[in-house]
Structure 1
Amino acid sequence: MSLLAALASGAQAVEYRSTARHGVIFYDTPADTSAKRFILSANIPFEVMSEQGDWVRVRDRDGTLSWIKKSDVSTRRFVQVNRLSDVRQSADSNAPTLFKVERNVLLERLDASNTGWIKVKHRDGQSGYIRIEDVWGA
């Protein structure tokens, strides 16, 4: 029982952020001289694992661990759609569908609730609610 309590007290909430601009370089280690792993466009979500000085260790959707500069982390949050999904008028499975979104579409995350839904906004301006399990980066 004490082991479970210790594990629970050490648990932290998952923190997601997004890339701040086009051309964000993901590095192998927290140094400008380290190997470059890949480059991503703006608004791509990632999970924050830790911070070290001006660097952030992140995990992408595929589980790859990398480092990016803190200056490349956006204050705006985006999610990436996992599969063809409905965006609804309200946080309810019976609410009217406003539009459908394809896999990999990026949506701005406006608000999250404890109901299993998040409020999102499409780049064309439409906003509504999508099930949390239909996106990555929430």
Structure 2
Amino acid sequence: MRAAAPSLATLCLAALTSMAQPSTAAPANGAPDGSKGTTGRDTGRVTGLKLPRFVSLKGDAARMRVGPSTDHAVRFVYMAAGLPLELLEEWGNWRLVRDHDGTTGWMHTALLSGRRTAIVAPWRKDGAELRSRPSQDAAVTARMQPGVLLTIGSCGGAWCHATVRNLRTSGHVAQANLWGVYPQEVVE
């Protein structure tokens, strides 16, 4: 959820808060040359890794820029280590990413981690349930609000084993209830 003020937008995630500061520059629509953001390839031009893919923020303060260099204006400053982002494109040491609200921009690779995290899907008004095993019939061990941040241990295509950040409570959550993993994606 983002509440905007003339010069400040705030991204709230249940127990986490990120601050975002809009830029005065025009938004980036993808590649540095102004073309569409993704290349149509299914692997990155720099790393050769699958595109798109999910990554997470490495630290508490990460700047999203409108273009792939420090010469470009800052679009947002995220203040939530571990926040999942979808990586769409690679350009040198810069990555085009999208957050759960659909905001895209460029981040330096030093700000990103391959560690898998997810949030309880913001569109799930009732949140999600953490269960003792990967089954709808399993005991509910926790009820989580939309936006709760989870560390992903593994996903089998329908269920993920995850730990609720800051609480150290773990269990299984239906993959369809998460933003940070793809439907039917297997994470080992």
Q: Same fold (TM over 0.5)?
A: yes
Aligned partner of residue 88 in structure 2, secondary structure = strand
TM-score scaled by length of structure 2: 0.65
Identity across matched positions, percent: 27
Partner of 1:6: none
Secondary structure (helix, strand or coil) at the match of 1:34 reads coil
Paired letter, 1:20 = K
**Counterpart residue type for residue 120 of structure 1:** A
How many residue pairs get aligned? The number is: 128
Q: How does 1:1-138 map to 2 (within 5 A)?
A: 14-40=52-78, 41-82=80-121, 83=124, 84-114=127-157, 116-123=158-165, 124-138=167-181
Q: Deviations over 1:88-125 (max 9, x none)?
A: 011100000111111111000110102x1111001211
SS in 1 for 2:110: helix
**What is the one-letter code of the residue matched to 2:86?**
E
8 Å CA contact 2:52–2:89 kept in 1: the answer is no
Using CA pairs below 8 Å that are at least 6 residues apart, which structure has the higher relative contact order? 1
- Offset, 1:126: 1.1
Q: TM-score, normalised by structure 1?
A: 0.87
List 4+ stretches of structure 1 deviating above 3 A.
10-14
> 1: distance between equivalents of 2:152 and 2:75?
27
> What is the alpha-carbon distance in structure 2 between the residues aligned to residue 109 and residue 33 of structure 1?
34
Rounded Cα–Cα distance in structure 2 between residues aligned with 1:27 and 1:13: 20
Q: Secondary structure at the match of 2:59?
A: coil
Closer/same/farther in 2, CA of residues 14 and 52 from structure 1, 3 Å limit:
closer
Deviation at 1:75, TM superposition (A): 2.8
Gaps of 5+ in 2: 1-40, 43-49, 182-188
RMSD: 1.4
Separation of aligned partners in 1, 2:97 and 2:114: 15
- The Cα offsets for residues 23-56 of structure 1, whole Å up to 9 and x where unpaired, read as 1000000010101000112111111101111111
Residue 56 of structure 1 aligns to which amino acid in structure 2?
R
